Amino acid sequence: MYRIAGTLLREGGVEGRLSWLLRARHLVRGDESMSELKRHWKRVMDFPGIVRQPEDAKLGALVDAGARVLVEQQTEFQRVLLLETPKREIILLLDSEMQFYSADEHRYHEALAIVPFLFRQGAVRRVGVMGGGDGLIARELLRHFADEIELIRIIDIDAAVTELARTHPRLVELNRGSLLDERVEVVNADALSYRSEQPFDLILGDLPDPTSPVLGRLYNREFYEHLRAQLTPDEGILAVQIVFVPPLFDGVLNTLRSVFPTVKEYAVWMYSFVRSGFALCGQGPLERCREVPKGTRHLTSEVLDMLFYFAPDEPRVEVDEVSTNENGRVVEWYGSFLRDYAEERILYY
């Protein structure tokens, strides 16, 4: 879930990344000209390919900025870091990539968990969550739809992450103990191969970005066909997150449209990730039939309308291809962002 911020901060090493952050702040304050920022950005982008900064250097930069390490753990699948900022906000990183920042994660999780409910005609009894091992999607579902939901099944490959979310005091505080609720069932399995014996009324995809061919399979047509087969016929809805960068966002949307008759895209602005994109996928027409529940922190009826609005000058591109297991196009789409669009993107925002 680390979106654009994590992508940008991988470039240029710790010093370069921190310098970029300082320059970006100066630009906001009007202390630095656009031409100077462009020159600096060109220097950063001169590094070949995607430069993955060693984790110890990235961790050192965060600690230097005042962060405190709460958890540092190597699991069977990934490196887990849970950090606390000087303001007692927490950050979860998996393999050095940010998964959430507690100051604004509610915007992302409200958009992914609540919006699909507003378009579901029938009752939502069974919800499947692909990923979401931190319990934050489950928190939103239980907070707003507890009277309706009978089962939330979280399919997350890493048992160490779900156990951390179930037991660490700071995570339990943030997810409101959602993984301890009797309606929440955690299955530590690979979403690519997991198949539910009973269909879900709603499936939510909160999965890693397609930074490798293995992770890219979570964005290919075959996987979306696999998920559709687990939905309630006709009325079941799928909602997934997609990194809002060209051409990845539009390429994944096109791939989803090869599987679902109706796909609606939306996106939410965030402080930590700039903008997170989503797709709402239906087996028939999708029309809003519910009101935004009370008690949300960010989502309102007015905000909901804004989520589905994309201005004419947004960084959108036309993509005709579909990503499959055979062509793995989604990984190319992700990589081409850094190669072709990164400077335009940061200057756009």
Which is the catalytic residue, given 134, 156, 201, 206? 206
Q: CB count, 10 Å around CB of 199?
A: 15
- DSSP-H helix ranges across the chain: 3-9, 13-29, 34-45, 55-64, 105-113, 136-145, 159-167, 169-175, 213-216, 221-228, 248-257, 301-307, 329-336, 342-348
CA 243 to chain centroid: 7
Measure the CA–CA gap between 81 and 73, rounded to whole angstroms: 7
Measure the CA–CA gap between 269 and 280, rounded to whole angstroms: 17
Structure tokens at 214: 């293995």
Is residue 238 exposed (0-12), middle (13-18) or buried (19+ Cβ within 10 Å)? buried
Amino acid at 208: P
Which long-range contacts link 297-301 to residues 24+ away (Cβ below 8 Å)? 297/106, 297/107, 297/110, 298/106, 298/107, 298/110, 298/268, 299/110, 299/111, 299/114, 299/115
Structure tokens at 295: 């008690």
Structure tokens at 242: 């997609």
Closest CA to 239 of 67, 116, 73: 116
198: DSSP letter? S
Known active-site residue 156: no
Catalytic residues: 206
